[in-house]
């Protein structure tokens, strides 16, 4: 069967022209809703938007099937990152990019275009299939907030596929857990020129602790980073507070706990050592550790993995299991008992003004989804 290349191109271009920064996905959600309803899908929204302060919830749709098999989930996210307003897509030689002033939004509107085209081909060719549940989440880019607040009572699938990575020849089966770490260092303010000896420089304390850390790649499955430092009011004031924000990631939860503890312990020990020089209880640190997302670890012999690999084989190529260092909605679904793997759409240079995607990669992704659906429909 033929994929309508012109149609998927035009739909993708229409999607990226609709502004949908995180927390502002309503317009694109309404656009998608009309398309899905025209194909016979039922569409509803949960209350995730209300929970996170957005203008819409997660879009949860269902296309009933003609075969008695378990429902399968297809998922992507609707939000995009800055600079993502006023996208002007440019099509040249089968490649779509922005005009260079904004991102393109292939992350993750390519997933939306691919899933919609897949449903259209199913309907047009009267292909027999089981029930399909389609979820387009909000606020993925700002902490997977849509997935974290999704109402799982509104769908039934216990396995499926999330389209949210570049590699069209890989299937992500393993992704790390992550902790967010916020450390506030408290010192004492003083006039930096008149009486600096009366102050305790919080930035100095933080710097001393940072010099003792091992950051970056710890081993092949563990990383950590301090990415934000905020503090100080003026050059003539000894700063009394500085806030550092970082993260730790690992595929092994024991290692995650170890690297998180190693970071926090250094700050606590540095503050304690310096505090012995003063009699006012300063400096000290407040530390807050919050799990950002849990790990994903779908077995290589899981039905979802084997089905996708068989589908790729039927199409003449190998789909290789992949291990990644980033998180996605899949981490949250997996933790909720829904075995989701991540498939690629061909998006390139995501989160940059150089972002692009080949139309051929999107059509190839449609072919893969159609083949997966056919295999699943046989039970």
Which residues does the annotation mark as catalytic? 79, 140
Q: Where are the beta strands (DSSP E) in the chain?
A: 42-45, 59-63, 72-77, 90-92, 95-97, 132-137, 159-165, 170-175, 177-186, 190-191, 216-219, 222-231, 237-238, 241-250, 284-293, 296-297, 320-323, 339-344, 356-358
In angstroms, the Cα distances linking 151 to 47, 291, 326 are: 8, 20, 24
Helix (H, G, I), strand (E, B) or coil at 250: strand
Task: State the CB neighbour count (10 A cutoff) for residue 353.
Answer: 14
Percentages helix, strand, coil for the chain (3-state, rounded to 5) are: 35, 30, 35
Closest CA to 20 of 30, 11, 10: 30
Distance between CA atoms of 366 and 376, rounded to whole angstroms?
15
Q: State CA 346 to chain mean position distance.
A: 16
Which residues neighbour 254 within 8 Å (Cβ) at sequence distance 6 or greater? none
In angstroms, the Cα distances linking 303 to 119, 335, 339 are: 22, 17, 9
Cβ neighbourhood burial of 378 (10 Å; 0-12, 13-18, 19+): exposed
Distance between CA atoms of 54 and 22, rounded to whole angstroms?
8
Distance between CA atoms of 47 and 51, rounded to whole angstroms?
7
């Amino acid at each position: 069967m033929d994929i309508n290349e012109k149609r998927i191109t035009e739909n993708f271009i229409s999607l990226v022209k609709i502004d949908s920064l995180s927390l502002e996905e309503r317009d694109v959600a309404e656009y998608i809703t009309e398309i899905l309803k025209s194909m016979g899908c039922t569409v509803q929204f949960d209350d995730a938007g209300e929970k996170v302060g957005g203008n819409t919830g997660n879009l949860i749709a269902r296309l009933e099937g003609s075969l008695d098999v378990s429902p399968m989930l297809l998922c992507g996210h609707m939000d995009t990152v800055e600079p993502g307003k006023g996208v002007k897509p440019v099509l040249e030689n089968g490649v779509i990019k922005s005009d260079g002033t904004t991102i393109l939004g292939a992350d993750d509107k390519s997933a939306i275009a691919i899933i919609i085209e897949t449903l259209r081909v199913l309907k047009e060719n009267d292909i027999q299939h089981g029930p399909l549940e389609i979820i387009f989440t909000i606020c993925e880019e700002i902490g997977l907030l849509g997935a974290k607040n999704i109402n799982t009572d509104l769908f039934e699938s216990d396995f499926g596929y999330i389209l949210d990575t570049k590699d069209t020849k890989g299937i992500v089966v393993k992704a790390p857990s992550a902790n967010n770490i916020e450390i506030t260092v408290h010192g004492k303010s003083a006039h930096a020129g008149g009486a600096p000896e009366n102050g305790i420089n919080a930035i100095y304390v933080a710097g001393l602790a940072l010099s003792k850390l091992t950051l970056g790649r710890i081993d092949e499955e563990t990383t950590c980073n301090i990415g934000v430092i905020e503090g100080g009011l003026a050059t003539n004031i000894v700063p009394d507070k500085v806030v550092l924000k970082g993260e730790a990631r690992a595929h092994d939860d024991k290692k995650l706990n170890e690297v998180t503890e190693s970071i926090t312990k250094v700050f606590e020990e540095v503050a304690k050592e310096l505090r012995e020089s003063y009699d006012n209880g300063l400096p000290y640190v407040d530390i807050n550790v919050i799990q950002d997302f849990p790990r994903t670890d779908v077995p290589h012999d899981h039905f979802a993995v084997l089905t996708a690999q068989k589908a790729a084989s039927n199409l003449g190529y190998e789909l290789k299991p992949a291990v990644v260092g980033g998180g996605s909605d899949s981490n949250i679904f997996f933790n909720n008992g829904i075995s989701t793997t991540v498939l690629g759409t061909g998006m390139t240079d995501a989160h940059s003004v150089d972002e692009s995607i080949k139309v051929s990669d999107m059509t190839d992704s449609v072919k893969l989804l159609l083949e997966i659906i056919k295999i699943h429909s046989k039970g």
